[in-house]
Structure 1
Amino acid sequence: MKRFLGPLILLCICVTGNLFAYTDVIDVPTAEVVNYYTMDLNFRLYSGGGVLSRINFGVLKRVNIGGSVDIDKLIGKEAPSIRPPALNLKFRVFDGSQKFPALAVGYSGQGYRYEESSGTYLDREKGLYFVGSIEALTEGLWWHVGTNINFTREDNRDKSNFYAFLGFNYDIEEDNKKMLSFMAEYDNLNDLRNSRLNSGLRFFPAENIHVDLSIKDIASQHGFPTERFLSINYQGNF
């Protein structure tokens, strides 16, 4: 019994107030960063028994640094495959106001839907991005708009690819506590064939934990099947 007391006490110390920052909608980033001396730990459980783990740290007041690792077939009978780890950075440039959005620049090296034959992700990483977030139209409705650039190699040449993205989340609260959030995003906006529509619900079983049920590639234009996945997110002090 004693061996469980240490982790339990540590968890109770970490869970000291509502520290949550919406650093992402589903796949697209927001202008939010986790607080100084706060960590953001996320596990995405996707089809085929894969688990994508991500951790970010608030190393400075406006700066987050972290990384992620994707392990395919971690759950199940088959041998798991570990993908190369990816780097995540975000710097909040402006905190925003009633009239102007909060602004952030960052880098995300994590892609989705790994393809063994090419050794790359079909849904490429965001790469360098710039995003603004603002509460508009009604209380609790947050909009996130941004642009990003990543680089690919085609025909023995390095090619830069520019995209845009749009997302929103609408929070339902009771007694100043978040109960549920509706989320949707339109990602990878460059041409219609490569764009992605994703949506989801975010639940708050505890102050510093949220659980997302998401649907990816709704009415896909590029032939990918619609995917359902579960994400578990924890934020606490370190």
Structure 2
Amino acid sequence: MSTTPVWSVDPRSGKRRERVGVEASAGEVGVVVRAAWEARGSLVDRGVRAGFLRGAAGLLEASGDVLVEVADAETALGGVRLRGELARTCYQLRAFADVVEEGSFLGVIIDHPDAAATPPVPDLRRFKVPLGVVAVYAASNFPFAFSVAGGDTASALAAGCPVVVKAHPDHPGLSERVAAVLRRAAVERGLPAGVVGLVHGFEAGVALVGHPLVAAAGFTGSVRGGRALFDA
């Protein structure tokens, strides 16, 4: 079990704001990934997924004042910039909900059977299915739109894939709060909270991409982080 603390730091003063938690060990990453993997069946229904995404957008907006305050305290990006980014994030979630309901992303193809053909044509059907658990790596400079509830998370959930996010160390407190909002939205739609997981720490990020139950990853970040994931 890891004991390395995760601190929220004020970039304006360099002082610690609050202790958010601890960096996850490989074993702790495994627990979070397993919970996401076990929750994958709950995302089968597209209507439930769309409702979850829209519910998440609504709850993020309802919590906007608090979230923007925490985001500014951790990033110093300013309220105007952050409110605009939060609005973008909520738009992304709702846009993916619309795509889920419309359904053409599934690429459905149906070839009807024809017993009179030579040779006979069987009943053939094809459609896209979710890959499984997706790891998402948050960016430092977009604490909303490319982070816990950002486009990578929204697209994965829209496709029916549970998500485990590796939080960025520049805004860990915000990451925890946004993850809590997403989990609340999930529970309100009858989904397990484990459909959205969150871990902290560089080594946790490497363990996450190497976990056998993680099927894909979305990454926006530094050369060091990208190289570590590539090498893993």
Does the pair score TM above 0.5? no
Q: Normalized against structure 1, the TM-score is what?
A: 0.23
Structure with more of its chain in helix, by fraction: 2
Structure with more of its chain in strand, by fraction: 1
Q: Normalized against structure 2, the TM-score is what?
A: 0.23
